[in-house]
């Protein structure tokens, strides 16, 4: 069973219904925080899905290091420095190359204030072909996507989640059209895909409805959810726009949307 809860369905510019990236994903019994953008921690705790608050977080995945996808890493680490947090399990961070350098720059500013007090910090920069095996038989597999980057890393990632019964959910991250995403999304039970703008505002390194439609028509996911909507996209009927190119079920996410997929059903 995969439960994909959207804490932030927007891009870098928050609106009341579409805040920056943040996703809380249950793969069987393992919870994962994906892309903790600004306000992610607050929205996670307010959602009621993390009764232990920060102590509930044990694995954090990053697609890339633009601030709308990772700014709350500082908030998470600073909260973990508090004696209030008592979880003694390691806090495990996974991201593309540059994660260790990013943490080093934070340390240059904050010293030891971001060191978790009661738990170790395990940092993994994904290498090609690496898979994270989850307790209970699930897994997380990263794949490279097409998104302009910063000085820390020259690529961004999408993620493919698989549960013990073979249910597959794919997250595009930020990306323009790319073959790697088409391949990862092929026949997925759930595709959560960015749709940053309407077609008339299309920008490099991002997707828009006709590009999402072409992706879906090629990959044939069983269910499609549109996310990472900047204000103009959030104000557009993206379902109708994507529907011009793809006949399958499509939803337009807002903050708080949840999608449950389970092949065992």
Interface residues toward Zn ion, by CB under 5 A: 66, 174
For Zn ion, give the closer residue by CB, 69 or 119.
69
Q: Give min distance, CB of 117 to Zn ion, in A.
A: 31
d(CA 150, CA 127): 19
The Cβ of residue 264 has, within 10 Å, a number of other Cβ atoms equal to 10
For Zn ion, give the closer residue by CB, 66 or 119.
66
Q: Would the CA dihedral through 205, 260, 75, 14 be positive or negative?
A: positive
For Zn ion, give the closer residue by CB, 66 or 160.
66
Q: Give min distance, CB of 145 to Zn ion, in A.
A: 10
Structure tokens at 143: 């794949």
Tally of helices (H runs) and strands (E runs) in the chain = 8, 14
CB proximity list for 10: less than 8 A, separation 6 or greater:
17, 18, 19, 20, 21, 228, 229, 230, 231, 234, 255
Q: Give min distance, CB of 66 to Zn ion, in A.
A: 4
For Zn ion, give the closer residue by CB, 72 or 174.
174
94 neighbors 132 (Cβ within 8 angstroms): yes
Q: Give min distance, CB of 35 to Zn ion, in A.
A: 10
Q: Give min distance, CB of 257 to Zn ion, in A.
A: 21
Q: In the bound complex, which residue of the shown chain has the CB atom lying closest to Zn ion?
A: 66
For residue 148, give the DSSP letter.
-
For Zn ion, give the closer residue by CB, 55 or 174.
174
């Amino acid at each position: 069973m995969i439960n994909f809860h959207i804490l932030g369905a927007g891009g870098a510019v928050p609106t009341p219904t579409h805040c920056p990236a943040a996703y809380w994903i249950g793969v069987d019994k393992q919870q994962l925080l994906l892309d903790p953008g600004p306000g992610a921690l607050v929205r996670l705790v307010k959602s009621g899905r993390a009764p232990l608050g920060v102590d509930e977080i044990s694995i954090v995945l990053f697609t890339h290091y633009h601030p709308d996808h990772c700014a709350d890493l500082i908030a998470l680490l600073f909260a973990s420095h508090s004696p209030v947090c008592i979880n003694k399990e390691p806090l495990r961070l996974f991201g593309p190359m540059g994660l260790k350098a990013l943490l080093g720059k934070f340390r240059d500013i904050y010293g030891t204030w971001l060191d978790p007090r009661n738990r170790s910090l395990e940092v993994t920069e994904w290498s090609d072909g690496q898979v994270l095996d989850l307790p209970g038989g699930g897994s997380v597999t990263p794949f490279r996507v097409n998104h302009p980057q910063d000085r820390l890393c020259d690529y961004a990632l999408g993620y493919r989640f698989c549960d013990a019964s073979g249910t597959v959910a794919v997250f595009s991250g930020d990306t323009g059209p790319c073959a790697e995403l088409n391949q990862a999304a092929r026949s997925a039970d759930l595709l959560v895909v960015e749709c940053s703008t309407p077609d008339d505002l299309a920008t490099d390194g991002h997707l828009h409805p006709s590009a999402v439609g072409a992706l879906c028509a090629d990959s044939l996911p069983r269910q499609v959810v549109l996310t990472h909507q900047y204000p103009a996209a959030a104000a557009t009927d993206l379902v109708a726009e994507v529907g011009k190119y793809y006949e399958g079920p499509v939803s337009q996410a807002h903050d708080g949307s949840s999608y449950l997929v389970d092949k065992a059903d």
